[in-house]
Amino acid sequence: MLAGAAISRDLVLVGGGHSHALVLRMLAMRPVAGLRITLVSPSSHTPYSGMLPGLVAGHYTFEQTHIDLARLCQWAGVRFIAGEVTALDPVARRLSLAGRPDVGYDLASIDIGSQPELDSVPGAREHAVPVKPVAGLWQRWQHLLQRLGALPPGTRQRIAVVGGGAGSVELALAMAHRLARQPVDLELWCGAPAILQGYNTGARRGVMAALARHGVAVALDARVERVEAGRLQLADGRQAPFDELFWCTGAAAAPWVAASGLPVDERGFLEVTDALHSVADERVFGAGDIATQVNHPRPKAGVYAVRQGPVLAHNLGAALLGKTLRQHRPQQRFLSLVSLGDRLASADRGPFSATGRWVWRWKDSIDRKFMARFEQLPASMPRGHWGSLPELAAASPQKPCGGCGAKVGADPLARALAELAREFPRHCSPPGGAGDTAPIPGSGAAAIVQSLDMLRQLVADPWLMGRIAANHALSDLYASGARPLSALAAITLPFAGADILQRELKQLLAGALHEFAGADCLLAGGHSMQGPELNVGFVVNGTAIAGDGRLLGKRGLAVGDQLVLAKPLGTGVLFAAHMQLAADGRDIAAAIDSMLVSNRLAAESALAHNASACTDVTGFGLLGHLLEMLGEDGAATLRLAQLPVLDGALAHLRSGIRSTMHGSNAAAGARLGFDGAVDDDLLQVLFDPQTSGGLLIGVAAARAPGLLDALRGSAYPRAQIIGEVVARDPASPGSVRVA
Ligand SMILES: Cc1cc2nc3c(=O)[nH]c(=O)nc-3n(C[C@H](O)[C@H](O)[C@H](O)COP(=O)(O)OP(=O)(O)OC[C@H]3O[C@@H](n4cnc5c(N)ncnc54)[C@H](O)[C@@H]3O)c2cc1C
């Protein structure tokens, strides 16, 4: 991911196999702006198959034979999730993970390899050690080594390997080399008439000689029919005892791939085109063992996964950037290098074969070179990038706004909470239930309410920023009719030296305390950390202002109630204009003054006039917060001309300037109805996100003039009655009618 670019799409790589390791490297060197890449892998290290036998034989260390995916991701700027995918829903574009929430994707790519086929032979799953996952094999191998070391003298162990392909032969030879001086008998059980099907006779002869030299007994035409504890039952009636059984037969696919509904071949492997995406879904790619190229099926081998890597990297980027995808044509034949336990190897390609130490050195240098690509990561990353996602290129170059303009829209939050409330019904408030202020459960009759609010940097002056953030956080309490008791700070400071940090914190907290002192609120402590940019937040709690414990709530509006707004609107667009150097400094100063006006007196007036409902207008704009008060069934009329608006705000809206949140707030415009023509620019004020905005109060019509006078006479000279609550007209689509 390019630093600083907004994320607009998610690419999720499932499995850190050979192809994906290359994809990570290549997309890091040639990034796509706006793309977030996530890798899901059960563990931080993935084995490189070519060196696996060398690990067992003792020629290599664990580190030399494994790619450190966590480190690779850290270098590549990719999110690493240690987890195992258990299901894919291509319609919802979601991946299920064992023991943690689902992960959504725009583009997914699967490179999870294969595992030995265990289920066609009864008892194999219970009694055999599959060679994959390699982590399990490695652990079991270590235990075996320990056990052998502690064997009573005179006892021998029988180790059986079931297979016959290159993997099983290499494994048996590697074990034989490692256990050369141990009291073990090694046997290779091969169901076919010969080992290494598909290899030429020369290579096969070289490998058979190595097996004989290492004392590995090879049984051919020996099909295992059943496995029992400590015993193989063969199809020809023979029985063979074992102390340890390793299973290295034909590859099988993870069942969730077929369960996704995407087309799979007869063994359950994902069918992909030559562009490496599913034959039925261009948003799901696949490579390595788990994928079968329908036009060019090949045996399952790491070499194919490696060759697919660069094409996959190109096609994932190209698919997102709308560029042409490459077609991959895998080789018909490839050079196969089989290690023979000791530092010998055998080469096979078509009719050519060779065995010797030089083949081992050749294989060793190829393998080390491959691994070096993931160990020696370039220190400097490219400055440029491959391209920008189309939606990012189309978006305005405007930097994201600070203050409440940077708030996450209501929709993503509501959707996230709705999904989580289903999973945690007793511990997560569903949307509508979760407010930004909530009573603390069990706090008794004199309920303690608590709230949390935070702001990105809005003004450069830290003292002022502290004041605005504190005032903004306290507004939530006032809107619920509570007076503050105490606050905790949560502050992220931009990276800096210790002295600078301390100076900055002092300024911020002095500003906050200026407000807290005015509100008689204790700043009890807090937490600060460093990060890429300034964020200032406060957890605040308080108790009812009213002596009778009455609180104010967002719900409770009645038909006929007047809607009173205490402070003018327009802070969002003014600060957006300020960032674009389009705002007049005097207008910004007036907006800051407005943000610094406490909502305390407004709350006291609202309570004194028996307000039916109240909220503070912040990130979701006037319309978003009004709709929240009205709920699904309520309706209101608004008089646009009555809206109090800060100087300069309307002019900036007319010139097309918008705060970051404006767009998502404007989606609420679908619930507007119109009584006659309206000024579209003035209408935009309804969507403008506010920082430390005024209270919106619903009050019975008879008490509205008194409330308005009280507000204007205290700290809110621009307070206005801006509309009223009406009965919902079922024939009218809008919840809020605008005139
Ligand atoms: C002993 C042995 C030796 C071999 N030697 C060779 C050789 O010399 N040359 C050769 O070409 N082939 C060799 N092979 C075959 C080779 O191992 C495979 O063909 C190759 O590993 C396939 O690579 P891949 O990219 O498909 O997946 P893999 O390399 O198997 O990687 C898959 C990754 O996905 C992860 N994963 C699995 N399931 C999930 C999940 N549900 N969610 C998230 N992540 C998951 C795994 O942990 C792993 O990290 C050998 C095999 C064995 C057993």
Taking residues 467-487, report their average pLDDT: 96
Active site residues: 404
Q: How far is the CA of 373 from the centre of ligand 1 (A)?
A: 18
* Predicted confidence (pLDDT) per residue in 663-715, tens digit: 889 988 888 988 888 899 999 999 999 999 999 999 999 999 999 999 999 99
For the stretch 452-466, pLDDT in tens is: 999 998 888 889 999
Q: For residue 582, give the 3-state DSSP assignment.
A: coil
State pLDDT tens for residues 327-357. 999 988 778 899 999 999 999 888 888 999 9
Is 558 within 8 Å of 613 (Cβ atoms)? no
Q: Is 291 in the pocket of ligand 1 (CB under 6 A)?
A: no
Whether ligand 1 lies within 6 angstroms of the CB of 46 is answered as yes
What is the rounded distance in angstroms from the CA atom of residue 595 to the CA atom of residue 597? 6
DSSP letter for 401, please.
P
Dihedral sign (CA 432, 434, 437, 443): positive
User: Mean per-residue pLDDT for 436-454?
Assistant: 77
DSSP annotation of 203: H
Q: Which residue in the block uniquely carries the two structure tokens 């019904």?
A: 425
Using DSSP, state whether 346 is helix, strand or coil: strand
Per-residue pLDDT band at 23 (split at 50, 70, 90): very high
Nearest to 489 by CA among 543, 532, 534: 534
Distant-in-sequence, close-in-space partners of 650: CB < 8 Å, separation ≥ 6: 570, 681, 682, 685
Distance CA 128, CA 189 (A): 13
Whose alpha carbon is nearest atom 53 of ligand 1? 167
Sign of torsion over alpha carbons 425, 427, 428, 434: positive
Query: Radius of gyration over alpha carbons of the chain, in Å?
Result: 34
CA 440 to chain centre: 31
Count of CB atoms situated within 10 Å of the CB of 279: 16
pLDDT of residue 284: 98
Model confidence at 231, in pLDDT bands (50, 70, 90)? very high
Q: Whose CA is nearest to atom 7 of ligand 1?
A: 50
Q: Please answer whether residues 148 and 182 qualify as being in contact, where contact means their C-beta atoms are separated by less than 8 angstroms.
A: yes
Q: How far apart are CA 472 and CA 535, in angstroms?
A: 13
Query: Ligand 1: which residue has its CA nearest to atom 27?
Result: 113
For 50-91, the DSSP string reads: GGHHHHHHTSS-HHHHEEEHHHHHHHHT-EEEE--EEEEETT
pLDDT digits (tens, 9 = 90+) for 539-591: 999 999 999 989 999 989 999 999 999 999 999 999 999 888 888 989 998 99
299-328 per-position pLDDT tens digit: 899 999 999 999 999 999 999 999 999 999
* pTM for this predicted structure: 0.79
Residue 419's φ and ψ, nearest 5 degrees, are: -70, -40
* In the predicted structure, residue 3 carries a pLDDT above the cut 50: no
Cα→Cα distances 606→466, 559, 625, Å: 27, 18, 17
Cα of 251 from ligand 1 centre, angstroms = 10
Q: How many CA atoms lie within 13 A of 473 on its CB side?
A: 35
Residue nearest to atom 16 of ligand 1 (CA): 302
Average pLDDT over residues 184-195: 95
3-state secondary structure of 380: coil
Helix (H) or strand (E) holding 738: strand 736-738
| CA distance linking residue 484 with residue 313, whole number of Å | 55
Which pLDDT does position 4 carry in this prediction? 47
| Nearest alpha carbon to residue 715 among 622, 593, 569, 572 | 593
Alpha helix positions (H), 480-570: 498-518
Residue 386 has pLDDT above 90, yes or no: no
CB atoms within 10 A of CB 291: 30
Position 380 scores a pLDDT of 74
Residue 570's alpha-carbon distances to 88, 233, 590, in angstroms, are 45, 81, 11
> What's the pLDDT band for 2 if we cut at 50, 70, 90?
very low
Between CA 187 and CA 572 the distance in angstroms is: 75
Res 731: pLDDT: 76
More confident residue, 382 or 426: 426
pLDDT value for 515: 95
Q: Maximum Cα–Cα distance for the chain, whole Å?
A: 104
Decide whether any atom of ligand 1 lies within 6 Å of the 254 Cβ: yes
Ligand 1 pocket test, candidate residues 65, 79, 110, 112, most atoms within 8 A of CB: 112
**C-alpha to C-alpha distances, 163 to 26, 196, 224, 295, 640, nearest whole angstrom:** 35, 10, 10, 28, 79
596-618 pLDDT, tens digit each: 999 999 999 999 999 999 999 99
Index of the ligand 1 atom closest to the CA of residue 43: 47
Banded pLDDT at 417 (limits 50, 70, 90): confident
If you measure from the C-alpha of residue 230 to the centroid of ligand 1, how many angstroms do you get, rounded to a whole number? 28
Q: Is residue 179 predicted with pLDDT exceeding 80? A: yes
- Which amino acid, one-letter code, is at 288? G
Residue 729 has what pLDDT?
Answer: 83
Least confident segment among 219-228, 313-322, 377-386, 408-417: 408-417
Lowest mean pLDDT among 84-88, 205-209, 371-375, 397-401: 397-401
Distance (angstroms) between ligand 1 centre and the Cα of 17 equals: 6
Ligand 1 centroid from CA 171, angstroms: 14
Q: Which residues contact 680 (CB under 8 A, 6 or more apart)?
A: none
- Residue 735: the pLDDT is 86
Burial (0-12, 13-18, 19+ Cβ within 10 Å), 641: exposed
- Say if residues 672 and 734 touch (Cβ distance below 8 Å): yes
Q: Is the CB of 108 under 6 A from ligand 1?
A: no
* Cα(392)–Cα(322) distance, integer angstroms: 13
pLDDT in tens, 491-528: 999 888 888 888 888 889 989 999 999 999 999 988 98
- Beta carbons within 8 Å of 184's beta carbon, 6+ residues apart: 148, 156, 157, 158, 159
What is the band of 393 on the pLDDT scale with cuts at 50, 70, 90?
low
Among protein residues, the one whose CA lies closest to atom 37 of ligand 1: 112
User: For the sheet containing 284-286, what is the strand order?
Assistant: 79-82, 35-41, 9-14, 107-110, 284-286
How confident is the model over 37-67, as pLDDT tens digits? 999 999 889 999 899 999 999 999 999 999 9
As a whole number, mean pLDDT of residues 144-166 equals 92
Q: Is 305 in the pocket of ligand 1 (CB under 6 A)?
A: yes
Question: Can you give the pLDDT at residue 99?
Answer: 86
